[in-house]
Amino acid sequence: MGKDTDAIVVAEPALHISEHDGRIRLGLEGLGYVEGETLQEASDALVACALRVATGIRANGVGPVCSECCVDAGLLDFMWRLGAYAEAGGDPRELLFGPNALV
């Protein structure tokens, strides 16, 4: 007799790209955005920002959370995986932009 199992859903925040006042704006849903003169500059800034957050979460965890604060468990999981991937020598751009990122 088979067992009912829950599928494991791996959350990945949506990546947003836009132009604002002649600059490229990249953002991750729930994390914020960065800007650059070029797509390369903006992607470098987003990688640096995401790694700072991931490193902080992995080093210090998440502080006390009250019941009125909604923590995005999917985003925390993604940031944890991003930090672990980078720490193991992986290119964080693969998780942020996909395995065939051109930037």
pLDDT in tens, 19-43: 999 999 999 998 899 999 999 999 9
Residues 76/56, Cβ–Cβ less than 8 Å: no
Kindly give, in sequence order, each residue whose CB lies less than 8 Å from that of residue 4, ignoring residues fewer than 6 positions away: none
| Joined tokens for residue 56 | 């902080």
Does residue 101 belong to any structural domain of this protein? Answer: no
Q: How many domains does the chain have?
A: 1
Residue 52 domain-assigned (yes or no): yes
Q: Is residue 98 part of a domain?
A: no
Model confidence at 2, pLDDT cuts 50, 70, 90, reads very low
CB-CB contact of 20 with 35 (8 Å)? yes
Q: Tell me the per-residue pLDDT of 54-101, one tens digit each, with 9 for 90 and over.
A: 998 888 876 666 666 677 888 889 999 999 999 999 999 999 998 765
The amino acid at 69: C
Residue 9 lies in a domain: no
Domain that holds residue 63: 15-93
Q: What is the dihedral of CA 37, 47, 102, 74, to 10 degrees?
A: -120
Is the per-residue pLDDT at 7 higher than 60? no
Query: What is the model's pTM?
Result: 0.79
Given a contact cutoff of 8 angstroms between Cβ atoms, the answer to whether 27 and 33 are in contact is yes
Rounded distance between C-alpha atoms, residue 38 and residue 57, angstroms: 29
